[in-house]
Amino acid sequence: MILVTGGAGFIGSNLQAALATRGEETVVLDRLGSAGKWRNLARHPPSRIVHPDRVDDFLAADPPLDIVFHLGAVSTTTALDGDLVWTSNVGLSQRLWSWCAARRVRLIYASSAATYGDGTAGFRDDASLAYLQGLRPLNLYGWSKHAFDLWVARRLAAGDPHPPQWAGLKFFNVYGPNEYHKGPMISVVKVKHDEVAAGARPRLFRSDQADLPDGEQKRDFIWVGDVVAIMLWLMDTPAASGLFNVGTGRARSYRDLAQAVCRAAGAAAEVEFIDMPAPLRGQYQSFTEARVEALREAGYADAFTPLEEGVRRYVQDYLAGPDPYL
């Protein structure tokens, strides 16, 4: 049996679909809520859904889990409620780590590229305490993910018990179907597609840095299918443990992304620029690019889906159709 926390969310439901297709029995720990997240699971429902308030009861019953995929979190990069973010993103992660370590259950958890802050310390998925201590996340969300990575590094350095396989995944910018509940956190691909579908030109934020031209802010955008493939590979490769960047290894500009959306939707590839909202200025990552050597050295050999192909698939197979869900 497999536990997927956050399994009703974007990445979690894509993983849930893949596990269900493989015939695995899964339990989802998440809130379905009233924003239509049930649709993320409609085609591939799990055996059971446990509400986060009941996690202690669920774990106390000693469920026969083989592996935990821990994706549940407050995923909003603009979150301000520090108590909620700490409890959800750090407290629950610590609880699951300790439970998995004691029961010898494998744990794959979501960290984030937001832990790298403005990127001045690089994008190395180095799990050493010394390197991690040099990272400076720009917001509460990134800090919460970083705080758990650090907690793990301290426990490992102290020789404390750990899950028999553990992997922290620093997801970069993931895009693909089943993200429609995410409100302002929805991927730029979906936002730009909505603009183009409404007959407008896609709008991009002007650069907030004098030496960076508008539209040339770059991120490592990764197709959700590649993210799921990496998680399944980890499940099939119990010897692989560590902190892994999950990006393509190639930063692409927002301009490239917007133009790819236009082409996939059959529209003219013309972009318009608007001012960056005040809350984002100075907190905005203008460049992210995963170093993927750790994943490659661990043996993951599949190619990543190029941006143009992932965008084409997302737009034509999901967003432009009558039912955009996986």
| Contact between residue 138 and residue 119 where contact means Cβ atoms under 8 Å apart | no
Q: Which of 141, 290, 143, 119 is nearest to 212 (CA)?
A: 119
Min dist CB 46 to ligand NAD, Å, is: 13
Binding segment toward ligand NAD, per CB under 6 A, in 23-31, 95-103, 128-136, 261-269:
23-31
Q: Which of 109, 116, 141, 284 is catalytic?
A: 141
Min dist CB 270 to ligand NAD, Å, is: 26
In the complex, residue closest to ligand NAD by CB: 9
- Residues 136-175 contacting ligand NAD, CB under 6 A: 171, 173-174
The nearer residue to ligand NAD, 45 or 266, going by C-beta atoms, is 45
Annotation marks residue 182 as catalytic = yes
N-term to C-term CA, the chain: 22
Q: Which of 204, 225, 226, 206 is nearest to 214 (CA)?
A: 206
Binding segment toward ligand NAD, per CB under 6 A, in 24-32, 210-218, 228-236, 262-270:
24-32
Q: Does 126 sit near ligand NAD (CB under 6 A)?
A: no
Instruction: Report how far residue 225's alpha carbon sits from residue 242's, in angstroms, rounded to the nearest whole number.
Output: 21
Residue 140 burial (C-beta neighbours within 10 Å; 0-12, 13-18, 19+): buried
Contact residue for ligand NAD among 30, 126, 195, 226 (CB under 6 A): 30
- Residues 101-120 contacting ligand NAD, CB under 6 A: 110, 112-113
Instruction: Report how far residue 277's alpha carbon sits from residue 269's, in angstroms, rounded to the nearest whole number.
Output: 24
Instruction: Report how far residue 260's alpha carbon sits from residue 189's, in angstroms, rounded to the nearest whole number.
Output: 9
Q: Which of 185, 151, 161 is nearest to 171 (CA)?
A: 185
Annotation marks residue 116 as catalytic = no
List contacts with ligand NAD (CB under 6 A). 5-6, 8-12, 29-31, 52, 71-75, 88, 92, 110, 112-113, 171, 173-174, 182
